[in-house]
């Protein structure tokens, strides 16, 4: 085990040296004057400006940092604005009082509330030795920094200067500081030049393996090239994603695939060997059939997701996970059918198996697992269009997601459900009276071509099963 840790540390040391060799120690500051950059206060949210000016009036240094600065320089609309300051969390709370809430243990942060809007404020991070400061004083105890045996940062409450803070950033393009005092941009790492070049350059992976995933997301979203010394360690360090908390991995998966460029993200994740640590079951199927239906299903689902995001429509994590895990679920379902399960029981058993396996990589909140199962279950229930079933299914809260998912299957080449999908497409264009007639028409057509009846209930288990148990199982399929 110790040999393993030593190997990981050597990777990290090599990574840190390669990624940092372009920088000088200590960092060389380049001040980009207001007239030399394109950032205007009119492009910054009023709430962020209120926080910056509030800290300034209280006598503290305050800067806009990270994605907000980067996006404005790239001509994009920032999603959020982060503030960094030399004020410590308790001092920040003293400035904003009841509007401020302190959060986090791994990273102690201040959230300043303006109605539903939140501005995140962090204190400059410093270097530390990972040991707790002695003494019982609360302020001292909170000033801690700790890393695990692989070098991953697990607690970071050592405060420092802006010169130290810059080295705690992930990429050079995210390490630009907009100064509210004179409206200049402070560039310690060549981030301005990297933005001009369209280049993604790492500060260091050492503290957080998730930065590998972030590199993929930024490269896809911004259209940037990953700089060679940033790219090389990803292949060797990908396995460290297994050490990241599953809850955090779930959030990172959503950021990746709800970025509006999910298809490119998917291809880059596979190229760098990262996808297997996010969806191992799906990766296993793709490795056996790299260009077949499983891949096309994922591509079509991601294409649909990208289109919704680019049209400013909502997206549901359940749809993403239902698409990613559909083929593994079907494979497992076939195994249960071979074990004499009914179709319904086989599907739900397979769903439980696959989801349980997935949460070893990414957690899935229970509200989403229930929705995933609904989407899958409806793929079979939508096949039955007789009597009053269509209306009941149409009113199901997950009908639209299930219908869209069936459309993805058709687009990916699953012709077995094309007729059913087309039927439901037309059904939705009709008024309530026409819908009843349309459903009756399908019933007549099916009656005319009905085959000799062998099993009145397609969900019923075979005859050798306990009849009472079978009856209970059948009753659950009725709407």
Domain regions of the chain by residue span: 25-201, 280-475
Query: What string of DSSP letters covers 209-230?
Result: THHHHHHHHHHHHHTPEEPHHH
* 128 pLDDT tier (thresholds 50, 70, 90): low
For residue 290, the tally of other CB atoms under 10 A from its CB is: 10
pLDDT of amino acid 140: 37
* Direct distance between the N- and C-terminal alpha carbons of the chain, in angstroms, rounded to an integer: 55
Cα–Cα dist 198/187, whole Å: 16
Q: Is 170 a catalytic residue?
A: yes
Rounded to an integer, the average pLDDT of 339-363 is: 97
Q: What is the CATH class of 25-201?
A: alpha beta
Paired tokens of 219 = 């490269």
Residue 31, pLDDT above cutoff 50: yes
Selected catalytic residue, list 170, 187, 194, 374: 170
Paired tokens of 233 = 């360690």
Q: Is 194 a catalytic residue?
A: no
Does 25-201 match 280-475 in CATH topology? no
Cα–Cα dist 457/453, whole Å: 10
Residue 9, pLDDT above cutoff 50: no
Residue 188, pLDDT above cutoff 70: yes
- Tell me what percent of the residues of the chain surpass a pLDDT of 90: 73
Paired tokens of 68 = 């907000």
Residue 372, pLDDT above cutoff 80: yes
Rounded to an integer, the average pLDDT of 224-247 is: 93
- Contact 170/208 with Cβ under 8 angstroms? yes
* 181 pLDDT tier (thresholds 50, 70, 90): very high
Selected catalytic residue, list 45, 61, 80, 353: 80
Q: Is 80 a catalytic residue?
A: yes
pLDDT digit string, tens, across residues 310-348: 999 999 999 999 999 999 999 999 999 999 999 999 999
Work out the burial of residue 358: count CB atoms within 10 Å of its CB; fewer than 13 is exposed, 13-18 middle, 19 or more buried. Answer: buried
Residue 215, pLDDT above cutoff 70: yes
Q: Maximum CA pair distance of the chain?
A: 86
- Which range is least confidently modeled, 23-27, 114-118, 262-266? 23-27
Residue 12, pLDDT above cutoff 90: no
Omega prior to 26 cis, within 30 of 0: yes
Q: How many residues does the chain have?
A: 479
Helix, strand or coil, per DSSP, at residue 2 = helix
If DSSP states are collapsed to H, E and C, what string results for 148-198? CCCCCEEEECCECCHHHHHHHCCEHHHCEEEECCCCCEEECCCHHHHHHHC
Residue 190, pLDDT above cutoff 50: yes
- Contact 53/180 with Cβ under 8 angstroms? yes
Chain centroid to CA 95: 34
Most confident of the ranges 98-107, 375-384, 448-457: 375-384
Side-by-side strand order, sheet with 82-85: 30-32, 185-187, 176-179, 62-65, 82-85, 117-123, 109-114, 100-103
Rounded to an integer, the average pLDDT of 260-264 is: 97
- Tell me what percent of the residues of the chain surpass a pLDDT of 70: 80
Mean pLDDT of the chain: 85
With the CA atoms of 387, 456, 401 and 409 taken in that order, what torsion angle do they form, in degrees rounded to the nearest 10?
Answer: -120
- Contact 453/442 with Cβ under 8 angstroms? no
pLDDT of amino acid 102: 96
pLDDT digit string, tens, across residues 193-209: 999 999 999 987 667 89
Q: For 273, left (φ over 0), alpha (ψ -120 to 50), or beta?
A: left
In sign, the C-alpha dihedral spanning 41, 47, 53, 55 is: negative
> How many distinct helices (H) and strands (E) make up the chain?
21, 12
pLDDT digit string, tens, across residues 438-472: 998 876 665 555 454 444 444 334 333 444 444 44
HSE-up of residue 193 (Cα within 13 Å, Cβ side) = 10
Chain centroid to CA 129: 32
pLDDT of amino acid 82: 96
Selected catalytic residue, list 15, 71, 82, 345: 82
pLDDT digit string, tens, across residues 51-71: 999 999 999 999 999 999 999
Residues with Cβ within 8 Å of 269's Cβ and at least 6 positions away in sequence, in order, are 213, 216, 256, 275, 278
- Contact 160/124 with Cβ under 8 angstroms? yes
pLDDT of amino acid 292: 84
Cα–Cα dist 322/329, whole Å: 9
CATH no., domain 280-475: 1.10.3090.10
């Amino acid at each position: 085990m110790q040999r393993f840790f030593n190997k990981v540390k050597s990777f990290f040391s090599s990574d840190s040296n390669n990624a940092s060799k372009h920088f000088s120690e200590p960092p060389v500051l380049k001040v980009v004057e207001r007239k030399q950059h394109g950032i205007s206060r009119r492009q910054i949210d009023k709430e962020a400006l209120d926080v910056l000016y509030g800290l300034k009036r209280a006598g503290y240094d305050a800067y806009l940092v990270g994605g907000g600065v980067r996006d404005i320089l790239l001509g994009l609309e920032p999603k959020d604005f982060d503030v960094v300051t030399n004020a410590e969390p308790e001092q920040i709370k003293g400035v904003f009082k009841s509007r401020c809430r302190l959060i986090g243990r791994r990273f102690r942060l201040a959230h300043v509330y303006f109605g539903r809007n939140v501005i995140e404020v962090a204190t400059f991070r410093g270097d530390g030795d990972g040991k707790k400061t002695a003494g019982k004083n609360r302020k001292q105890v909170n000033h801690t920094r700790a890393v695990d045996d692989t070098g991953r940062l697990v607690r970071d409450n050592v405060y420092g200067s802006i010169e130290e803070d810059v080295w705690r950033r992930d990429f050079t393009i995210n390490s630009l500081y907009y100064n509210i005092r004179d409206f200049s941009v402070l560039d310690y790492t060549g981030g301005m030049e990297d933005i001009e070049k369209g280049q993604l350059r790492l500060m260091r992976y050492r503290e957080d393996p998730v930065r590998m995933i972030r590199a993929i997301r930024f490269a896809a979203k911004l259209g940037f090239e990953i700089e060679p010394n940033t790219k090389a360690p990803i292949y060797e360090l990908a396995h460290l994603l297994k050490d990241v908390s599953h809850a955090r991995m779930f959030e990172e998966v959503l950021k990746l695939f709800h970025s509006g460029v999910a298809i490119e993200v998917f291809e880059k994740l596979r190229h760098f060997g990262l996808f297997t640590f996010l969806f191992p079951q799906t990766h296993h199927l793709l490795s056996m059939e790299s260009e077949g239906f499983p891949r096309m299903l994922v591509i079509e689902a991601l294409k649909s997701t990208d289109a919704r995001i680019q049209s400013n429509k909502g997206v549901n994590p359940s749809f993403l996970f239902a698409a990613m895990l559909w083929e593994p679920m079907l494979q497992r379902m076939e195994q249960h059918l071979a074990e004499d399960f009914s179709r319904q029981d086989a599907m739900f058993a397979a769903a439980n198996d696959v989801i349980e396996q997935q949460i070893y990589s990414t957690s899935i909140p229970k509200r989403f697992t229930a929705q995933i199962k609904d989407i899958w279950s409806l793929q079979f229930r939508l096949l039955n269009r007789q009597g009053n079933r269509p209306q009941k299914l149409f009113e199901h809260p997950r009908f639209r997601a299930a219908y869209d998912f069936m459309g993805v299957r058709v687009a990916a080449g699953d012709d077995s459900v094309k007729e059913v999908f087309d039927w439901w497409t037309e059904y939705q264009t009709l008024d309530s009276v026409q819908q009843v007639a349309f459903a009756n028409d399908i019933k007549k057509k099916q009656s005319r071509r009905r085959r000799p009846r062998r099993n009145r209930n397609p969900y019923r288990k075979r005859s050798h099963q306990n009849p009472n148990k079978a009856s209970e199982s059948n009753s659950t399929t009725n709407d």
